[in-house]
A and B are shown apart, each in its own frame.
Chain A
């Protein structure tokens, strides 16, 4: 081990090779595995909240008139909180869940570099979530997740202030978590694991963390100004008193465009691991995938104003078009490298793999529409329309959420020691893939035909598209519960997983499932290539792991009389 983790005095480690129980996650713990599960549970809770809001949005949009909601403002609160919750309380914390649980294990480390800080970062999330939802008691934010002033400063109820404070806390949580990841990944790799022997998930978390540390302080600055304008009588965004309405848009997007990569890079990392493991083939172009993450992280800081093409002074539009289009190149490299990875492999249609393939298939659509949106003249037509709504969901749902789903199927056995049911998993995939496509693809058409986003009342000619979209969205909504049921059902009834059900080479699988308190017994030795499938050495390594920790059958046998005996000895 490159470094040793000491526990803060008096802190109790909860997980000792037994599955993490409800009472563990409800209390303070500095164990990265418990914290990972805590992140996942709170994220899934807010996923349901955000999803329910989306269902209300789609129900309202079944007809052109205002019928479900009392007025336009009430409708505006739905998509404002939907967007905010999905971004800040679902995708980002869920990515942090995988980061927390998996990164130290993949590095062969006993914990994160700063375990106490890790727990502190997590415990900022519940109060932030409560603040966000408390908006409904004082009139929630209704200016969209982007909350442009003056609408968000002079025309929104007090929930907008709570919204800003809540995101402030979530941003702080992100920054603390990201610092922890950077230090952990830089310092705690085991001997024999250089930068380019790291699993690509660690690369993705590293790139994400760099973006978070660099970008999130800008969000914090913007939010501070917004709160001051709302409660302290300042006028940063009020032109009548010398402020400027575009100041917020610039600061906000300087964070929020990189935030797209904060949300999608971890899913890229999951995808790299899942595709390679379940296609039994090395990653195609490892270095290009790793370095393209860093390239995306860097170039991602120069494109923010493409979100403001219709507001930006005309002379600035072309430079931002150029940078925005350049970013298609590293993204294209990744997509083709992933295709190269599965090509000629021995593809298992596991649920994790299906979601991985589904990710590729849907994310590509978001990538293509993204390049189109980057072209200024075309953007003048589709900016702030359903075309954009479609694009962002293909990236953040078809990309990020499909990736997170793949991660859940891939790592759930490690976390719980049980396999998720594959039959339910395939149903989940089929419903999600079809429901997703028919929810979001027709939105392109509605946008091209002339439907703006964020409206409850629309011209009757758009109703046909909206009915199709709403019906598909209800299928998509139901599909989520197949996964949630599976996750609860499998806790007791799932097949015993054993240490390495996927016969993977990365280090998190070279220990029992769930891992003991200190993750490994002794210092784990990483295989020289995290994705070196197809060689005799790789097969021998997997067999050695199975010999030490047991195959799934061994573990199932031995766990019958006394559960989890094999772990932690």
Chain B
């Protein structure tokens, strides 16, 4: 037996050290298999930090559990008549200093390393693209701006909305976020990064995607392959569903992204003449899918009334309202009539303030109504385009029928 001068047996200490360090490294190596893929450069750094903490934590876990189990079995006294006590040891200064100093050193290392990772993931990059994000119950709106293309109608750079986030590999992305009703949190597990959206404040987050969502390389960006966007701050009834409606699409190249972007800009500058076709193209840019079902657009929300076949039902909802009047009023004044069984949680889409997150121009309203009117069993539109324009011009208010 190797005995040091102080009488401590070295061999078991070495065995424990090897088991704990080896076990910690094993835990640290195996755990990342549980993770979603690393889709951002931040994810790589955060995972490396986590693996370091897992190695230390895993080793500590094995050490403490091992000591507890060993002591519980090794020092157990079964004999009920045994009235003997353990040795009257009240402490050991050396040991106490050691187990104060070692955790203190480990903590200092973790703080310094975490800080360096933090600085690296937070520092603004050159050529960042800014996308504005609005969270509301229970949907996301991303607003993209084409800085160098002027919209002749508004005399401002072209802006367009989408419920999904589009980006491309190695784009330094900066999200500027706010919330309209309650707080939400933006989380893409594959990016390993999260930021709350706060009412009345603007928050920021940055990440750089490194992995395309076109996983099978067919050049088609499908929802099934895209990264899901989870809401991570409790926001009410549809909080779970809000984590299932929006996705992050990462294009494999700048060219693919630019193509997509140009198409969307073109849609703003040269909208289709046919209002139904226009409605079908702009409706997905509004945050309706978080709450409504509409199979023709792939919506699966649960918190609001089902919109399948709405063209057939719209004229029967409110006495005196034609189908187009009902749809128009339901968008401009959602609380005017509540479908039985649903709470009045739909935001009011307003026409007079383009900077408002809930702005909807009359042209968009007319196109959307025209599209929704075609949601009938027969496929024929339930409305007439000229009466839709009249309905959109009508002044109604939220009547006493609405209550929360």
> Which residues on A are within 8 Å of B, measured CB to CB?
66, 71-73, 76, 142-144, 148, 150-151, 154-155, 239-240, 243-246, 279-286, 288, 310-311, 314, 317-318, 321-322, 325-326, 328-329, 332-333, 335-337, 339-340, 342-349, 357, 360-361, 364-365, 368-369, 371-372, 375-378, 380-381, 383-385, 445, 448-450, 452-459, 503, 532-535, 538-539
Identify A450's interface contact among B36, B203, B236, CB under 8 A: B36
The answer to whether A244 and B237 touch across the interface, beta carbons within 8 angstroms, is no
The answer to whether A344 and B75 touch across the interface, beta carbons within 8 angstroms, is yes
The answer to whether A532 and B239 touch across the interface, beta carbons within 8 angstroms, is no
The answer to whether B189 and A381 touch across the interface, beta carbons within 8 angstroms, is yes
The answer to whether B50 and A325 touch across the interface, beta carbons within 8 angstroms, is no
B268 at the interface (CB under 8 A from A): no
The answer to whether B234 and A321 touch across the interface, beta carbons within 8 angstroms, is no
B363 at the interface (CB under 8 A from A): no
The answer to whether A155 and B118 touch across the interface, beta carbons within 8 angstroms, is no
The answer to whether B233 and A384 touch across the interface, beta carbons within 8 angstroms, is yes
Are A368 and B60 also in contact (CB < 8 A) when A148-B183, A281-B85, A449-B189 are? yes
What residues of A have a CB within 8 angstroms of the CB of B26 in the complex?
none
B68 at the interface (CB under 8 A from A): yes
The answer to whether B122 and A364 touch across the interface, beta carbons within 8 angstroms, is no
Distance of A194 from chain B, by nearest CB (Å) = 16
B82 at the interface (CB under 8 A from A): yes
Distance of A385 from chain B, by nearest CB (Å) = 7
Please count the residue pairs between chain A and chain B whose beta carbons lie under 8 angstroms apart in the complex: 275
User: How long is the Cα–Cα vector from A53 to B330 in the complex, in angstroms?
Assistant: 37
Identify B244's interface contact among A143, A336, A375, A457, CB under 8 A: A457
For chain B residues 57-116, which have a beta carbon within 8 Å of chain A? 57, 60-61, 64-65, 67-69, 71-72, 75-78, 82-92, 95-96, 99-100, 103-104, 107, 110-111, 114-115
B257 at the interface (CB under 8 A from A): no
What residues of B have a CB within 8 angstroms of the CB of A73 in the complex?
236-237
User: How long is the Cα–Cα vector from A311 to B183 in the complex, in angstroms?
Assistant: 10
B312 at the interface (CB under 8 A from A): no
Are A333 and B99 also in contact (CB < 8 A) when A76-B236, A151-B236 are? yes
Bitwise, B228-255 to A at CB < 8 A (1) or not (0) is 1011111111111101100000000000
Interface centre among B67, B69, B84, B240 (most CB of A within 10 A): B240
B196 at the interface (CB under 8 A from A): yes
Given A155-B182, A340-B89, A346-B75, 6 extra CB contacts under 8 A: A150-B183, A151-B236, A325-B110, A344-B89, A376-B114, A381-B194
Identify B86's interface contact among A142, A281, A288, A452, CB under 8 A: A281
Q: Which residue of A lies closest to B230 (CB)?
A: A452
The answer to whether A378 and B195 touch across the interface, beta carbons within 8 angstroms, is no
User: How long is the Cα–Cα vector from A377 to B239 in the complex, in angstroms?
Assistant: 24
Are A329 and B100 also in contact (CB < 8 A) when A311-B196, A322-B111 are? yes
What residues of A have a CB within 8 angstroms of the CB of B187 in the complex?
384-385, 450, 452
The answer to whether B72 and A72 touch across the interface, beta carbons within 8 angstroms, is no
Identify A66's interface contact among B76, B231, B233, B302, CB under 8 A: B302
Interface centre among A144, A244, A380, A458 (most CB of B within 10 A): A380
Tier of interface size on chain B: 35 or more
For chain B residues 314-370, which have a beta carbon within 8 Å of chain A? none
Distance of B155 from chain A, by nearest CB (Å) = 30
Q: Which residue of B lies closest to A240 (CB)?
A: B200
Q: List the 10 closest pairs (A to B, CB-CB), nearest first.
A: A239-B200, A450-B189, A281-B86, A457-B240, A455-B240, A534-B88, A345-B86, A311-B196, A72-B237, A368-B57
B289 at the interface (CB under 8 A from A): no
B201 at the interface (CB under 8 A from A): yes
User: How long is the Cα–Cα vector from A239 to B302 in the complex, in angstroms?
Assistant: 28
User: How long is the Cα–Cα vector from A452 to B63 in the complex, in angstroms?
Assistant: 31
User: How long is the Cα–Cα vector from A284 to B77 in the complex, in angstroms?
Assistant: 20
The answer to whether B86 and A346 touch across the interface, beta carbons within 8 angstroms, is yes
The answer to whether A286 and B90 touch across the interface, beta carbons within 8 angstroms, is yes
What residues of A have a CB within 8 angstroms of the CB of B69 in the complex?
361
The answer to whether A377 and B68 touch across the interface, beta carbons within 8 angstroms, is no
The answer to whether B183 and A384 touch across the interface, beta carbons within 8 angstroms, is no
The answer to whether A533 and B99 touch across the interface, beta carbons within 8 angstroms, is no
What residues of A have a CB within 8 angstroms of the CB of B107 in the complex?
325-326, 328-329, 371
What residues of A have a CB within 8 angstroms of the CB of B232 in the complex?
310, 383-385, 452-453
What residues of B have a CB within 8 angstroms of the CB of A340 in the complex?
89, 91-92, 95
8 pairs of residues in contact across A and B, judged by CB atoms under 8 Å = A148-B233, A150-B182, A244-B200, A335-B64, A361-B68, A448-B31, A452-B243, A459-B228
